[in-house]
A and B are shown apart, each in its own frame.
Chain A
Amino acid sequence: MAVLITTPSPSLSPPASSVGVVGWLKQNLFSSPVNSIFTLAGLYLLYSVLPPLISWAFFQADWVGTTKEACTSNGACWVFVGVRLNQFIFGFYPQSEYWRVVLAFSMFAGLIGWLLIDRTPKKGLVGAFTVFCYPIIAYYLFYGGAFGLPVVETYKWGGLMLTLILASTGMFFSFPIGIILALGRRSSMPIAKLISVIFIEFWRGIPLITVLFMSSVMLPMFIPENMQIDKLLRAIIGIILFQSAYMAEIVRGGLQAIPRGQLEAAEALGLSYWKSMGFIILPQALKLVIPGIVNTFIGLFKDTTLVLIIGLFDLLAVVQAAFADPKWLGFSVEGYVFVASVYWVSCFSMSRYSQHLEKKLHTGHAR
């Protein structure tokens, strides 16, 4: 008698070794003998580096106190950083005037936040305020000399504050110069093109250090004798010239990505060169290069450390100078780790933001 089974027998479950934790381990860590060796080596590396590092930085570290004597355990002595934190942030800025710096930076953070976050109203107005009014306000807050604020000479500026001022001023001024240079490089006027190319290639071809040396040594010779340029201003001029060449190349990349039809359409509508650039080409091109601009800003932010070579006290220089304090000898590792983490957190979050932007702006081409 034949038996007819119409229901299919249930499919077998996959072998235990290819699903769940074991399967994941087998597939991702131990897929072949060579891979297993690599995995074990990696694990050993982690084992030999991480636990001592964590216990040095956290479990065995000293956090509270005011003197070197508070550091009794074997770990890091964060007391050193804590005691000098004000100096690391404000340099030699007078303590009674700290509020000005804090106010200026919180205003800046507020404005930038307003501009970056989606769905905040009146972006145009806030943007115009940031570009045209805020720099003047910030100048008077930092330097003083008006509205009853006492003058704080620039040699007293230092620390994180100086780093941020250098990076943001450099960025702020190099942006329009960079746009003009990029337009010049793509211009049909041969002389304008030639001058832009020479300018861009010259500044991109030399290291920032020589630019800073030049601005600190040669700039005083270029101006009439009765004029004096502040040391900080000289460094900023150097940074702006250097940065605008890089900015020009970034903007040029964006300009090249805009199809020719856009310009032709603008011309067909009867728009002049500047109108077609300002209303048609640049808005599209600049939107494309925002991630690139953020990336150059990250580079500039890291490069501001070089000003210590011409004797300005940025964050790294202030920390480096603190090592020489006879009361706090031998804490250089803590100092470097502190500076590194400040830079790392800022740069890493900026680069993440730029990647996020890249994804957000990459519309229409996604398949």
Chain B
Amino acid sequence: MSKSSQKQRWWNNAQYRSLFFQVVLVAMIVGFFCFIGTNTLANLEKRGISTGFGFLSLKAGFGILQSLIPYDESYSFGRTFLVGLLNTLLVSALGIFFATIIGFTVGVARLSNNWLISKLAGVYVEMFRNIPLLLQMFFWYFAVLRTLPSPRQSWTAGEVAFLNIRGMYLPRPLFGDNFGFVVWTFVLAIVATVFIRRWAKKRQDETGQPFKLGRVAFGLIVGFPVLVFFALGSPLSWDIPKLQGFNFHGGMTVIPELTALVLALSVYTATFIAEAVRSGILAVNSGQTEAASALGLRKGKVLKLVVIPQAMRVIIPQLTSQYLNLVKNSSLATAIGYPDLVSVFAGTTLNQTGQAIEIIAMTMSVYLVISLTISGIMNWYNKKIMLVER
């Protein structure tokens, strides 16, 4: 066997080459960050802005339209961050809730064998998907909610809930002393259901005997707390909003900004969820349904045991990215003045303190953390329901 006649030049060696490329890359990136770092420091010094997070403990001195925790002008900038964050989480949670409901309904309706219903669902999806979200938000806020009647001419549902230009007024629940027991029975019932489900699955695996979990779970989770609730003498009353002078007092107020934001976010995101649901259901091979029917399963069981579990595998990843989009899109709130994180913190707080770098960095990291958490949870779930292959 002859020795390799030509000795390879070192610059033709793949390993050296990749090492060289990577060193150059790192040098370029370090150089880039040094460049902007020195510029930033020089610029900050020129403008007399001190760096650091000390500003978070300074007094904010501005009011915020809606806050889930106690807040007024005397609280600190750190508190404004928290208020904005909670408002963002609130609108995201509400948006995800409604978008999921509308999205699944429309997605299933689009596959309905009723021609009219499937066409209507198609029109809904095509219409709202192709119009920018910000435009929809403006439409709901400026063209619809800003033209509602004044408090005196409010629209009302049964004289307990009112809708007018200042917002939506809903009855507020007042929890009595013993209401905690009802909540505890509810939690207990859920825990018990989890255990019963485990036992039932084990029994079915061993003996083949199915267990009617649905009814038992319903009885436990709904029936039991209701029983406790009445046994304790209904420890719940409602604070109903009342018109006094020019405005409503009492009850719970949903500001129009929140309504417009949730409406636009859920209507827009629902179109994408509907498409995800539709593609998921269509992805299940029709042979699966036929095989299940051939085994003698009823239509409902076919859906529950065969179609939905398989469709979920396709739906979940797309659903995750839509949830992430919704959370990120909730930052559009700033355009209509809903006090979310971007509007309160990266807007007002930034204008008042001028600490651009710290504030933008904090805002971005919040969204990064939310994104990574949601995708982490969904990846875990996705792994759990993934096809187990040999």
Contact = CB atoms under 8 A, between A and B. Distances in A.
Interface in B289-341: 328-329, 331-332, 334-335
Nearest to A344: B130
Contact of B114 (A39, A209, A221): A39
Contacts of A217: 350, 356, 360
B288 interface: no
A276 interface: no
A209 B338 CA distance: 14
B371 interface: yes
A222 B42 contact: no
A269 B362 CA distance: 51
Nearest to A34: B114
A28 B119 CA distance: 11
Interface in A153-203: 188-192, 195, 202
Given A29-B114, A343-B131, A207 B342 contact: yes
A214 B132 contact: no
B6 interface: no
A225 interface: yes
Given A191-B25, A210-B342, A221 B135 contact: no
Interface of B: 18, 21-22, 25-26, 29, 36, 39-40, 42-44, 46, 112-117, 120, 126-127, 129-135, 138-139, 142-143, 328-329, 331-332, 334-335, 342, 346, 350, 356-357, 360, 363-364, 367-368, 371-372
Interface string A329-347: 0001100100110011001
A-B pairs, top 3 by smallest CB distance, nearest first, are A347-B130, A28-B115, A207-B328
Contacts of B26: 191
A268 interface: no
Nearest to B370: A205
Given A192-B22, A320-B138, A210 B346 contact: yes
Contacts of A213: 342, 346, 360, 363
B372 A205 contact: yes
| Among A46, A209, A316, A332: residue with most chain B CB under 10 A | A209
B364 A210 contact: yes
A218 interface: yes
A195 B360 contact: no
A97 interface: no
Contact of A306 (B143, B332, B356, B368): B332
Given A31-B113, A42-B116, 7 more contacts: A28-B116, A42-B117, A195-B25, A214-B360, A221-B40, A224-B39, A298-B130
Nearest to B321: A204
A17 B18 CA distance: 75
A305 interface: yes
Interface in A28-46: 28-29, 31, 35, 38-39, 42-43, 45-46
Nearest to A220: B43
Contact of A344 (B127, B356, B367): B127
Given A39-B116, A217-B350, A217-B356, A206 B43 contact: no
A220 B138 CA distance: 30
A351 interface: yes
Given A29-B114, A195-B29, A302-B133, A205 B143 contact: no
A29 B115 contact: yes
B130 A351 contact: yes
Nearest to A211: B364
5 contacts: A221-B357, A225-B42, A336-B139, A340-B135, A347-B131
Given A29-B114, A42-B120, A336-B139, A206 B130 contact: no
A220 B329 CA distance: 25
Interface string A7-42: 000000000000000000000110100010011001
B142 A332 contact: yes
Contacts of B143: 332-333, 336
A192 B25 contact: yes
Interface string A273-317: 000000000000000000000000010001101101100000010
A42 B123 CA distance: 12
A224 B138 CA distance: 38
A316 B134 contact: yes
A353 interface: no
A207 B360 contact: no
Given A191-B26, A333-B143, A31 B114 contact: yes
A348 interface: yes
A223 interface: yes
B328 A206 contact: yes
A316 B132 contact: yes
Given A35-B114, A195-B29, A213-B342, A343 B350 contact: no
Contacts of A43: 116
Contacts of B116: 28-29, 38-39, 42-43
Nearest to B113: A31
B132 A336 contact: no
B382 to A, nearest CB: 17
Contacts of B18: 188-189
A171 to B, nearest CB: 16
B117 A39 contact: yes
Contact of B367 (A38, A210, A303): A210
A255 B39 CA distance: 38
| Among B116, B126, B335: residue with most chain A CB under 10 A | B116
Contacts of A351: 129-130
A61 to B, nearest CB: 16
Interface string A206-244: 111110011001101111110000000000000000000
Contacts of A29: 114-116
Contacts of A302: 130-133
A145 B143 CA distance: 42
Contacts of B367: 205-207, 210
Interface in A96-150: none
B10 to A, nearest CB: 17
Nearest to A37: B114
Contacts of A188: 18
A189 B22 contact: yes
A343 B117 contact: no
B361 to A, nearest CB: 9
Contacts of B21: 189, 192
Contacts of B356: 217-218, 221
Contacts of A205: 367-368, 371-372
Given A189-B22, A192-B22, A217-B360, A222 B36 contact: yes
B138 A316 contact: yes
